[in-house]
Amino acid sequence: MSTSGEEQWLYAISSKRRIIEFNFREIARYKDLLFLFVKRDVVTKYKQTILGPLWYFIQPLFTTLIFTLIFNNIADISTGDGVPPFLFNLAGITSWNYFKECLTGTSDTFKQNQNIFGKVYFPRVIMPMSVVISNLIKFGIQLLVFIGFYIYFTMFTEKASNVSPQITLLILPVLIIIMGTLGLGFGMIISSMTTKYRDLTFLVAFGVQLLMYASAVMYPLELVKSKVAEGRIPEMTGLLIEYNPMTTVVEMFRNVTLGIGGINIQMLIYVMITSTVIFLLGLIIFNKTEKSFIDTI
Amino acid sequence: MSDVILKVKNISKQYRLGLVSSGTVSHDLKRWWYKLRGKDDPFLKIGEINNSSTKGSSSYVWALRDINFELHRGEVLGIIGKNGAGKSTLLKILSRVTSPTTGEIKTRGKIASLLEVGTGFHPEMTGLENIYLNGAILGMTKKEIASKIDEIIEFSGCQRYINTPVKRYSSGMRVRLAFAVAAHLEPDILVVDEVLAVGDAEFQKKAVGKMKDISKGDGRTVLFVSHNMAAVKSLCTRGLVLENGEITYEGRPSDAVAYYLNGNSESLNHYNFGDSKKNERLKLHGITIFAKGKRKETNLDEYDELTIETKITIYPTENNLHLTYVLKDETGLSLFTITNANSDVPLEVGDCYLRCYLPEGFLNIGTYFLDIYIIENSKNTIFHQPDIMSFSIQEGERPLGAWLGKEPGFIKPDFNWTKARF
């Protein structure tokens, strides 16, 4: 094995670390583990339940129903002519859910897996990656639900006269990647911070809920802009909602599928940069934490 | 000369004691401020030797301090030490679960650890699915596991349950399944922590056999931490004693074990009572238990021929005196009585060493307590002291491949056997 040179070592364990240690070769070596984790998550999620995978449908459907009832039927938020509020909300919730699941699923990586992490080594980043991938499967199923209702509303009712998919549907994969990296980035940051100081765990639970209201999930961004123009919403709030990266993602998801709202290349680039920065930041903090979090958790 | 496969250089590990609270924020900030200015961590300069029983002033302790050793290919290194000596911390660093505070470890081979078997078992998944998952966690690829799946199932002895969720397994089956997976790992360096403590006798035999195969047959390098001295003596090729986070002895396994056991003052088998054990009739100076052919300071093992030596002064008396010992186990259960009442060696007036000889290999491994009685005319007790001393019998060196546990019972008398054809 070690025929040449005294200093030919396989690897070294030390306290020193590089800023980003994203060892692709090592992760590739553990790809089986990644998929086994994904399989574990998917297979065991609804074990010993009667409805089983049906829960994947039930949760977004009921949320959409309630949202439609409250925001459209009671609060009279207009979703535009010829756009059924139900479809509008379902689009928002489907795209928001993927981000949310990625964020909450990865935000307790270290705490959740301290038993396993405390005993064996494997690239820790495998864990959050598996969460993002298994959520992708869930997202796929929910997308099918959306498509089902989409077909129902466009083919069998007159309500969806203005709904049509756009050619920009092609950028949907980009949107999905942005949602995933944003969720993963935030999740990694939060999971790293919570190893020592648990305060953030409490923030995540309701913070995500609050963030949803600031992400244009159940109202169009146009509405916020017009309210700002009318002076009924402080300008600051308007800007906050507009520059929240998830707002753009949700808006664009609705744009490419339903054809409502505008598409803004500048905002897309802005969001792509933001999500990359957050992802890299998450990776740096995660790398820093994984080495010795087991002593502080 | 075999080549060095692992090199541990100046490894230290510091822990902060007490709770993680808002106080730690200020330390973190200070640390960060020093780092920003390119200075060393201010908290590395402080810290004390890790002795958990004494109270120290600093809230930082060194669980490991400047550990240096090399491991050659094919070696089986046994690490022994008291609880809290830093064994597990060292293994944790080696298996990359946590990183050292200072120092560096270099390796030429893959390290896999059996720190605790069954890591990552998911109760809802079947045995078979868990074999794959656990194998992958331990670093095997799916293909490697698939090629060994039959062997693993066979080794675990769980064939019938293999398609049943693991939550329905008995705890023993779970452990067996987990060990079966771990035993089929093929790392260059295997890190083992106390696997012998799990499972029943039959499984232990299997596990030790497998360990032996790994180290002897395949020439794999093993790092082995155990409290089972018999296992260390028989399996390892080198021994290392850790004390309060520092290596205090390195050498042949049997020497290391002896060093370790002697360092434990509780296992000294010599009691000197001074003036504390006396009355108007007698004075008991001391009791020593030692093994034939060994120095008095060494520990006793299960194969020794033991002598119980009582140093006593009897003051003038007309009556017959004799001495009785009651041997008890750790729970206080009386095992048997030793007396010179019926022997032709009576207790006589004056100073004497009274010696009692136990046959070779008579007492089993364990810790024992002695009660002493001095009896007058076979009816009156003139001196009595329960638990006057304790001593322990250690595991001896056993032949390779033999079972390393403890046989039931307290004595192992060597009876005569005959055989006749019928």
Q: Which of B99, B107, B114, B138 to mutate to test the interface with A (most CBs of A within 10 A)?
A: B99
Closest chain A residue to B94, measured at CA: A13
Sequence-ordered list of residues with C-beta below 8 angstroms from that of A7, at least 6 positions apart, any chain: none
From chain A, pick out residues whose CB is under 8 angstroms from the CB of B129. 40, 43
**Helix A85-107, helix A126-156: angle, nearest 10:** 170
Q: Where are the domains of chain B?
A: 69-263, 268-394
Q: Stretch B54-63: mean pLDDT, rounded?
A: 68
User: What mean pLDDT is predicted for residues A52-76?
Assistant: 87
Look over chain A and give the mean of its residue pLDDT values, rounded to a whole number: 84
Tokens of B156: 């675990």
- A182 vs A42, more confident: A182
Chain B positions touching A37 (Cβ under 8 A) are 133
Q: What average pLDDT does the segment B216-233 reach?
A: 77
Verify whether the Cβ–Cβ distance B104 to A117 is below 8 Å: no
B387 CA to centre of own chain: 25
Closest CB from B98, B106, B141 relative to A295: B98
CA nearest neighbour of A83 among A66, A68, A70, A62: A68
Q: Residue B105 and residue A14: Cβ atoms within 8 Å?
A: yes
Chain A positions in Cβ-Cβ contact with residue B93 (cut-off 8 Å): 13
Of B99, B107, B116, the CB nearest to A119: B116
Strands B350-357 and B60-72: unpaired
Report the percent of chain A where pLDDT is more than 70. Answer: 94
Tokens of B119: 């890591």
| Lowest-confidence region among A140-144, B18-22, B246-250 | B18-22
- For the domain spanning B268-394, the CATH number is 2.70.50.60
Contact B95 A118 (CB under 8 A): no
In 3D, which of B227, B233, B225 has the Cα closest to residue B397? B233
Q: Please give the angle made by the CA atoms of B361, B367 and B371, to the nearest 5 degrees.
A: 100
Among A17, A33, A47, beta carbon nearest to B136 = A33
Any idea which of B5-9, B95-99, B174-178, B397-401 has the lowest mean pLDDT? B397-401
Q: Is the pLDDT of residue A4 over 50?
A: no
C-alpha distance from A277 to closest chain B C-alpha (Å):
22
B27 CB neighbours in chain A (<8 A) are none
Between B108, B115, B139, which is nearest A119 by CB?
Answer: B115
pLDDT tens across B137-172, in order? 888 888 989 999 998 998 888 888 888 888 888 877
In this complex, do B106 and A12 lie within 8 Å of one another by their Cβ atoms? yes
Contacts B107 to A, Cβ<8 Å? 9-13
Residue recorded with tokens 């094919």: B74
Cβ neighbours of B7 in A, within 8 Å: 9
Q: Is residue B3's pLDDT more than 90? A: no
CB pairs under 8 A between A and B: 109
Note the pLDDT tens digit of each residue in B318-361: 888 899 999 988 777 888 999 988 888 888 888 999 999 988 88
Least Cα separation, residue B163 to chain A (angstroms): 15
Give the pLDDT band (50/70/90) at residue A62: very high
Q: Which of A38, A120, A297 to mutate to test the interface with B (most CBs of B within 10 A)?
A: A120
Going by DSSP bridges, is the β-strand pair B221-225/B76-81 parallel, antiparallel, or unpaired?
parallel
Judged by CB atoms closer than 8 Å, whether chains meet at B97 and A117 is answered as yes
Please tell me the pTM assigned to this model: 0.72
Select the more confidently predicted residue: A110 or B118: A110
Beta bridge partners of B306: B291
The answer to whether residue B56 scores a pLDDT higher than 80 is: no
- pLDDT for A177: 92
- Chain A residue with CA closest to B111: the answer is A121
Token pair 């990586």 is at which residue? A109
Helices (H), B157-252: 171-183, 201-212, 229-235
> Do B298 and B274 form a contact (C-beta atoms < 8 A)?
no
Report CB contact under 8 Å: B97, A43.
Answer: no
Question: Please, are residues B268 and B297 in contact by the beta-carbon 8 Å criterion?
Answer: yes
Question: Is residue A108 within a helix (H) or strand (E), and if so which, with residue range?
Answer: none
- Pick the residue of B98, B119, B190 with the most A CBs within 10 A to test the interface with A by mutation: B98
Provide the 3-class DSSP secondary structure of residue B232. helix
**For A117, nearest residue in chain B (alpha carbons):** B97
Split at pLDDT 50, 70, 90, the class of B19 is low
pLDDT tens, position by position, B75-131: 889 898 877 788 888 888 888 888 888 888 888 888 887 766 667 788 888 889 989
Q: How confident is the model at residue A7 (pLDDT cuts 50, 70, 90)?
A: low
Q: For residue A118, what pLDDT band results from cuts at 50, 70 and 90?
A: confident
Q: How far is B103 from chain A (nearest CA, A)?
A: 6
**What is the distance between the alpha carbons of residues A130 and A113, in angstroms, rounded to a whole number?**
13
How sure is the predictor about A5, in pLDDT bands with cuts at 50, 70 and 90? very low
Please report residues of A whose CB lies closer than 8 A to that of B95: 119-121
Residue B141 to residue A118, Cβ atoms within 8 A: no
Domain positions in chain A: 24-295
What percentage of chain B carries pLDDT values higher than 90?
A: 6
CA of A82 to nearest chain B CA: how many angstroms apart? Answer: 47
Find the closest chain A residue to B88 by CA distance: A119
Interface contact A44-B97, CB threshold 8 A: no
- Which of A1, A3, A9, A291 to mutate against chain B (most B CBs within 10 Å)? A9
Report residue B188 as tokens.
């260059």
Q: What is the pLDDT of residues B269-300, one digit of tens each?
A: 777 777 778 888 888 888 888 888 877 767 78
**A18-22, A59-63, B289-293: least confidently modelled range:** A18-22
pLDDT of residue A99: 92
Q: Is the pLDDT of residue A243 over 70?
A: yes
Which spans in B51-105 are helix H?
87-94
From chain A, pick out residues whose CB is under 8 angstroms from the CB of B71: none
Q: What's the confidence (pLDDT) of residue B82?
A: 79
Task: Judge: B141–A32 Cβ closer than 8 Å, yes or no.
Answer: yes
Q: For B305-321, what is each residue's pLDDT tens digit?
A: 899 999 999 888 888 88
CB contact under 8 A, B103 and A14: yes
**What is the spatial distance between Cα B66 and Cα A291, in angstroms, rounded to a whole number?**
20
Least confident among A157-161, A234-238, B50-54, B371-375: B50-54
State yes or no: pLDDT of B234 exceeds 50.
yes
Residues of B within 8 A of A30 (CB-CB) are 136, 139
Q: What is the pLDDT of residue A271?
A: 92
Interface residues of B toward A, Cβ cutoff 8 Å, are: 3, 7, 15, 20, 24-25, 28, 92-110, 112-113, 115-116, 119-120, 122, 124-125, 129, 132-133, 136-139, 141-142
Determine whether the interchain pair A14/B142 forms a contact, defined as Cβ–Cβ distance below 8 Å: no
User: What is the predicted pLDDT for the residue at A178?
Assistant: 93
The residue in chain B having the minimum alpha-carbon distance to the alpha carbon of residue A48 is B124
Q: CB A118 to CB B97 under 8 A?
A: yes
What's the pLDDT band for A1 if we cut at 50, 70, 90?
very low
Mean pLDDT (chain B, rounded) = 80
DSSP A75: S
Q: What pLDDT, on a 0 to 100 scale, did the predictor assign at position A69?
A: 92
Find the residue in B nearest to A14 (Cα): B104
B69-263 CATH choice from 3.40.50.300, 2.60.40.10, 3.30.300.210, 3.20.20.70: 3.40.50.300
Nearest to B99 among A15, A32, A119 (CB): A15
Highest mean pLDDT among A182-191, B22-31, B92-101: A182-191
User: Residue A19: its pLDDT value, please?
Assistant: 59
For residue B40, with 0-12 CB atoms within 10 Å meaning exposed, 13-18 middle and 19 or more buried, which class applies? exposed
